[in-house]
Structure 1
């Protein structure tokens, strides 16, 4: 208990520049798992996988092997990035009316989340395996040992986990209650030491037998039985859906911003393309001269966000199932035309999607993304970088668990209603299809051609704005990654912007309104992580709103807390 409070003490200390490998993650115990791999000569990929597995244990509300992942791997020898799409997939039995009730009417998002039908075929383990195959150095089984140790020997409940347990108590099944709740039904208090022996045994099986043991055989049969026999919204998943799942090597998506090369994840994620559009539309404005404390800079950021989100909502889906006009969306002439709609002294009366080259006729997406997910950034001693964002969607996913591990509700990221006025949504449900995501793991090359920054975030559709804000903060405002992450966010996916409550934006609201902005003040539940190269040395940043840390190869850690920070909406 004493150890826990020391670990999460409210401190503000400068971020040290580390000459060795660095891990930034949302929990210190997970970061420690990654640095343990680095000390043993493991690669950035090895450290990232070990960190992911540990987060599965200590941050069960956010992500894990019952969900999906997007991974970027930078190879310092070739200077190139490869990506892994480990997004969950719909069972082949799914139709575009997957989330319709017996009365023939679409379920509300809230009613669609609990139970089996929202569970997509998990992709995280397949993504890990593909990443390890091409970037790992240590044995597969070694990467699991810190997570197995945490699950078997136990860990202390953190304030963030306790907050999620209190907030989402009605959502979770008996398996979760047995681990994290007392006989009186109350969630484990902060500092309570909990163990998860069933999860330890599951991780040990996968470590020993390999990832196939999760996708075929008894484990696959158990997962299928869990979702198909769910009391609410039973699924129609088959063992064949699991056996046939593959993580995919997608083309990396890159663009330019002020001489920097920005590379991110392409579809089935919408995160990368939307970040690139926001930045390209801002490039004609002197964001550096305006500065981070100028309301006009944030107004421009909001307007560019609105345009990019509008295009994203209309056109982006799983490219294996729908035509996504990526070349048209990222065409510099098209983006210049979109940027011309933005004015420094006024706000657009209406925002509509544009018509990029190759764009099919679509209906605007109405999907709802819940603030969930976790992100991590790793660089190894050689300078290889791995950037990961992974998730189970909502806090505690579908509410269903298997062997102490939460199962996702990722399929509620699809559009529940597939068409309107005869036009189909790009993100409608289809058998085998991957739902659109906002996850945006991103790697930034400096003008010297070397990696300058790797950044990712959690928090539903705010992820896109968080990553774009972080890049603007580092490139235009010359902030450290830590300070860029810590800046408040003006989040504007539509007409009304949300100014993050308790940040520098509160004081700007009158000035923003004078520019025509419609602004509400509210918590946003943000959570970002980054590593960056500064003067030839690697350092990092972790979100002051989270329990995140930056830890070097030797286990030296900086706990990052904003003094007087108010509790934020959970971003798990």
Structure 2
């Protein structure tokens, strides 16, 4: 859809509507994002919420600011957190329970951003979610299906009582689900600010839940929650042809990896490889996948929370340097290189091991532009579907600590993304803002859920819009493809056998697989000489777009 004044794109129609109403009332992009996130906590609990964290890029017409609301490890955690008898734990043994829960960050981060860029009162922004929690919302097809396939959520008595009926069956599509406990929590936060969550009974209840789990207790305390602080960081902004592309810095790997992929692909004539009939070109997929291998290899060696582990040269610049990326691009030949090795940037590089962190895809994305010229891209998460499967007062707790490497070191040395007390686990979330370098105008806001595949999803949309001249909806709707430095992954059911065969002939190990991105995007377009906003939402999920 198109709009002249403002627009919001989110992962659920209830959430989009809440953001739209806030923008209608004169709210800022930040105001709308807060309203959207509170509603997503209720209606998309499998993906994000106040029990988790987020990364947010904000543009106020002058500068891009990167807000880091990533969760932190408890003060008592160490690199053996996910070891049992000297070996890495099974993933779901680590996830389910209290061990995987980090100090939630999303509310503190949104509070920081609202203080700088909010227009409407904080309490006003919680009203849509409070009303929906009290009156109820209709269970969506996606939520009902995920509840049906979920193996672990029923083990938590609070979650079982909320998400399932008396016979243990998930609520059907259209069932009106009420959450008075969450409504009460949101009322407290609306009235008392983020402190109501971080300094009071809510934090103590989270501690009690985490530490009393019968099989897998965790280390998080109310003091860890009270001491949580968001970070305002410098965005990763790099040039790509005639645009400037801005993404998140560490502890997200998304901004660096997307910038590396673009820097590598900038050496090739990608505009000449546009898809035909909605089907990607084999040469384009080859180049894109090889660029991904190189970026993911660097990600696994170098990127982690820079408050604990420095990047090469103590800066993002060596990893996104044009000459470094040109050298990496020269490694791409006619045949697939297979698993790529990390590069050696022109900077002092500490010896390090290769990360082993199983990052999973339950996340949500929001893009907003407001009538005052502000724009944002925000990706939020509780990590795995339904997080740690621990419910406290109507919301789910994250399992974000399993985004750390389960192995602390290897023959190469200590792993950058190992567990350390107070550290933020590395992420692949890649909220992105794109600007025209000549006019400095915003061109695009986009992002996606999808675990470590987020980087490929977002890079696909950037190549689609910037190189292939697609609108953001067309770019989102393209089949997903790419490599995370393993097999070349093609979206099952969306790509034909011919493409797979052509890639195999060039040495690719091809894996056909479901790739459920949840891309959202808003782009500036020209309609008969008038600038307007055009929004896109991923057809693979339930998101939509609204604007005026």
User: TM-score, normalised on structure 1?
Assistant: 0.92
Aligned to 1:334: 324
Task: Give the match's secondary structure for 2:232.
Answer: coil
Contact 1:253 1:264 in 2 (8 A): yes
Aligned to 2:104: 122
Q: Distance in 2 between matches of 1:507 and 1:149?
A: 51
Aligned to 2:21: 36
Per-residue Cα deviation, 1:511-542 (whole angstroms, up to 9, x for no partner)? 11122211111111211101111011112110
Q: Distance in 2 between matches of 1:178 and 1:209?
A: 28
Task: Give the match's secondary structure for 2:512.
Answer: strand
Q: Which portions of structure 1, spanning 4 or more consecutive aligned residues, are displaced by more than 3 angstroms?
A: 504-507
Aligned to 2:356: 366
Equivalences for residues 90-489 of structure 1 within 5 A: 90-101=73-84, 103-172=85-154, 173-292=156-275, 293-325=280-312, 326-343=316-333, 345-356=334-345, 357-421=347-411, 423-447=413-437, 448-489=439-480
Contact 2:339 2:485 in 1 (8 A): no
Listed as ranges, the gaps of 5+ residues in structure 1 are 1-15, 554-572
Task: Give the match's secondary structure for 1:392.
Answer: strand
Task: Give the match's secondary structure for 1:34.
Answer: helix
Q: Distance in 2 between matches of 1:496 and 1:367?
A: 17
Q: Distance in 1 between matches of 2:266 and 2:83?
A: 44
Q: Distance in 2 between matches of 1:108 and 1:320?
A: 28
Cα RMSD after superposing both structures: 1.1
Q: Distance in 2 between matches of 1:81 and 1:229?
A: 42
Report how far residue 169 of structure 1 moved. Answer: 4.1
Q: Distance in 1 between matches of 2:519 and 2:220?
A: 33
**Pair 1:66 & 2:56 matched:** no
Report how far residue 104 of structure 1 moved. Answer: 3.6
Task: Give the match's secondary structure for 1:49.
Answer: helix
Contact 2:355 2:407 in 1 (8 A): no
Q: Distance in 2 between matches of 1:149 and 1:349?
A: 53
Contact 1:328 1:358 in 2 (8 A): no
Per-residue Cα deviation, 1:132-177 (whole angstroms, up to 9, x for no partner)? 0111100000000001111111000000001110111433421122
Contact 2:363 2:382 in 1 (8 A): yes
Per-residue Cα deviation, 1:17-47 (whole angstroms, up to 9, x for no partner)? 2112111111010000001101111001101
Report how far residue 459 of structure 1 moved. Answer: 0.7
Q: Distance in 2 between matches of 1:155 and 1:546?
A: 18
Report how far residue 233 of structure 1 moved. Answer: 1.6
Q: Distance in 2 between matches of 1:301 and 1:349?
A: 13
Task: Give the match's secondary structure for 2:219.
Answer: coil
Report how far residue 181 of structure 1 moved. Answer: 0.5
User: TM-score, normalised on structure 2?
Assistant: 0.96
Aligned to 1:528: 519
Per-residue Cα deviation, 1:361-415 (whole angstroms, up to 9, x for no partner)? 1111111111110001001112210111000000000000110100000000001
1:501 is aligned, of 475, 484, 492, to 492
Contact 1:199 1:405 in 2 (8 A): yes
What is the aligned residue count? 534
Per-residue Cα deviation, 1:394-438 (whole angstroms, up to 9, x for no partner)? 000000011010000000000111011261000000000000000
Contact 1:328 1:359 in 2 (8 A): no
Per-residue Cα deviation, 1:430-472 (whole angstroms, up to 9, x for no partner)? 0000000000000000243210000010010111001100000
Report how far residue 327 of structure 1 moved. Answer: 1.9
Contact 1:306 1:492 in 2 (8 A): yes
Q: Distance in 1 between matches of 2:286 and 2:461?
A: 16
Task: Give the match's secondary structure for 1:526.
Answer: coil
Q: Distance in 2 between matches of 1:481 and 1:383?
A: 20
1:541 is aligned, of 514, 536, 539, to 536
Q: Distance in 2 between matches of 1:253 and 1:204?
A: 36
Report how far residue 93 of structure 1 moved. Answer: 0.2
Per-residue Cα deviation, 1:32-74 (whole angstroms, up to 9, x for no partner)? 0001101111001101111111111100000000000001111
Q: Distance in 2 between matches of 1:134 and 1:281?
A: 36
Q: Distance in 1 between matches of 2:375 and 2:59?
A: 5
Q: Distance in 2 between matches of 1:490 and 1:349?
A: 16
Tell me whether 223-232 or 506-515 shows the greater mean CA deviation: 506-515
Aligned to 1:10: none
Report how far residue 352 of structure 1 moved. Answer: 0.4
Task: Give the match's secondary structure for 2:445.
Answer: strand
Aligned to 1:8: none
Q: Distance in 1 between matches of 2:158 and 2:497?
A: 42
Aligned to 1:491: 482
Q: Distance in 2 between matches of 1:520 and 1:349?
A: 13
1:512 is aligned, of 498, 503, 508, to 503
Task: Give the match's secondary structure for 2:301.
Answer: helix
- Change beyond 3 A, Cα 1:422–1:342: closer
Q: Distance in 2 between matches of 1:490 and 1:355?
A: 27
Task: Give the match's secondary structure for 2:362.
Answer: coil
Per-residue Cα deviation, 1:209-268 (whole angstroms, up to 9, x for no partner)? 110111112111111111011123211222221111001001111111111000010001
